[in-house]
Amino acid sequence: MTNTTTIGVFDSGVGGLTVLKELVKLLPNYSYVYFADTKHCPYGPKGSEEIIRLSEKITKFLIDQGCSTIVVACNTATAAAIDYLRKTFSVPFVGMEPAVKPAALGTKTKSIGVLATKGTFKGRLYRETTSRYAANINICYQVGTGLVELVEQGRSHSDEARELLRSYIKPMLDEKIDHLVLGCTHYPFFIPILKEILPKDIVIENPAPAVARQTARILSEVDAKPLATVKAKPFVKFFSSGETDTLEHLVKEIETTTNIEFKQKSFQHFSF
């Protein structure tokens, strides 16, 4: 492997920024290339073959950019394409793990809610995780129709988002859930609203920190040295297959609401 200090991250759009944020917090000495496929967003309603085709093209682009480890920061792309990507390319891949396991192990009411895309619910990882850890748990499923689009439009804090989330959450509250699993990387942008409308004792399960930890484990293996000794000059290149306005806005929002600074950041358009 010629470059173990550049991590590629891709999503159907801007949702993967919630994963990138956790990666940079945990691994600040690495460089990153982020690709938002906003031209083809959302992935949720698309078929597996199309998602595989798009994911393969993005992976080739990221490898051409010097990425030696790739994080598929999209639940739908992970469900549809990660097995294919691992068979096709020699670089390590990290995908989105459904956070059903911690919810199922932690629930006291034996009832949890899962908010995800249609593609995620159909994926092998989701089916295997639920059958293994939540066989005796009541799971309230909800496809988050319209939520990805709101984030992509920069409207994750809007009244429309609040009302849509209320309509999705109410049936879950009626089922006495005590954990809510966010099964799409776009959904953590709604956490401020979810904290408003959910009872305080309900745990919101965001899988992004666990994905960052798994990436750190993989990197420690391929680098064969402690992560603290990595001396890469940190920077993030952002690419989008569509417009970059929302991407730039949300990156700035992350920087102003956290202690994270995306150093030497640049925004570029790349379509395929």
- Please give the average per-residue pLDDT across 27-56, as a whole number: 94
Out of 3.40.50.10490, 3.40.50.1860, 3.40.640.10, 3.40.50.720, select the CATH number for domain 100-205.
3.40.50.1860
Residue 261 clears pLDDT 80, i.e. is over it = no
Reported for 194-203, long-range contacts at CB under 8 A and 24+ positions apart, including other chains, are 194/165, 194/169, 196/162, 197/162, 197/165, 197/166, 197/169, 198/169, 198/173, 199/173, 202/177, 202/178, 203/103, 203/106, 203/178, 203/179
Residue 67 bears catalytic tag:
no
* Identical fold, 6-96+208-269 and 100-205: yes
Calculate the average pLDDT of the chain: 91
Looking at residue 268, what is its pLDDT?
Answer: 92
Looking at residue 80, what is its pLDDT?
Answer: 93
Q: Find the helix or strand (DSSP H, E) in which 104 lies.
A: helix 100-106
Fold of the domain built from segment(s) 6-96+208-269:
Rossmann fold (3.40.50)
Band of pLDDT at residue 264, cut at 50, 70 and 90: confident
78, 163 contact by CB (below 8 A): no
Looking at residue 125, what is its pLDDT?
Answer: 81
Band of pLDDT at residue 2, cut at 50, 70 and 90: very low
DSSP 156: T
Residue 263 clears pLDDT 80, i.e. is over it = no
Report how far residue 176's alpha carbon sits from residue 194's, in angstroms, rounded to the nearest whole number.
16
Backbone angles phi, psi at 239, to 5 degrees: -120, 150
**Out of 41, 67, 74, 140, which one is annotated catalytic?**
74
**Out of 41, 67, 140, 184, which one is annotated catalytic?**
184
Tokens matching residue 96: 């989105």
Band of pLDDT at residue 122, cut at 50, 70 and 90: confident
Looking at residue 272, what is its pLDDT?
Answer: 81
Looking at residue 198, what is its pLDDT?
Answer: 97
Residue 165 clears pLDDT 50, i.e. is over it = yes
The pTM score is 0.91
Tell me the domain boundaries of the chain.
6-96+208-269, 100-205
